Every structure is written in C-alpha cells, then in structure tokens.
Amino acid sequence: MPIIVALSGEYLLDCDDAVKHGIPRTRDQYRHFNAKEDQWQYWSKLSYAGKIGISSQLVNNGKCVLCSIDEKIVSKRKKSLGV
C-alpha cells in the first residue's frame, strides 16, 4: 500500500472516515498515511504546489490528508460528469 508523508503541525487529526483511512503513523513531525490506489494516483499526479496545498490543511487545521484527497477526487469526478 502506498504511503503519503505529510508534515504535521497539529497533534489532533480531523478525519471524516477513520475506518476507511485508518490511523496514520507519526514519526517526528510527519504523518504517514496509507493511501488507496486512487488516492495515490491522484497524489502522484499533483504538482508540488498542489501537494503543499493539501499538506498545509493538515498543518494548519489538522485535516486528514486522505480526506482532502477524497474531496478533490469527488469534485473532479463531478466536474467531468457536468454535475
């Protein structure tokens, strides 16, 4: 399973779907998130600025990186369907 590593400034993590995303491991100042295939594909195609944008949500307000990615994936699918 691919791992997404993000700098973590918050001690509490706000995750909308902890059952799906699991509990990320914390090492030093970083959190290691176990990504699913679609999440990993989205992450790997992001620009550096896009990755920083998602990671900054974790640092600033403790929002789960995988929740942020899931929201982006759903939004992208809705746009492609014209919804």
Q: List all residues 6 or more positions away from 56 whose beta carbon is below 8 Å from its beta carbon.
A: none
What percentage of the chain exceeds 70 in pLDDT? 96
Token reading at 67: 């929740």
Q: Pick the closest to residue 72 from 55, 33, 18, 62 (CA basis).
A: 55
For residue 10, pLDDT over 90 is answered with: no
* Average of per-residue pLDDT across 53-65: 90
- Provide the phi-psi class of 30: left if phi over 0, else alpha when psi is between -120 and 50, else beta: beta
Q: To 5 degrees, how large is the angle CA 46–CA 49–CA 53?
A: 90
Q: Compute the mean pLDDT over every residue in the chain, rounded to the nearest whole number.
A: 90
**How do residues 11-50 score in pLDDT, each as one tens digit?**
788 899 989 999 899 888 899 999 999 999 999 999 999 9
Question: Residue 83's pLDDT is what?
Answer: 67
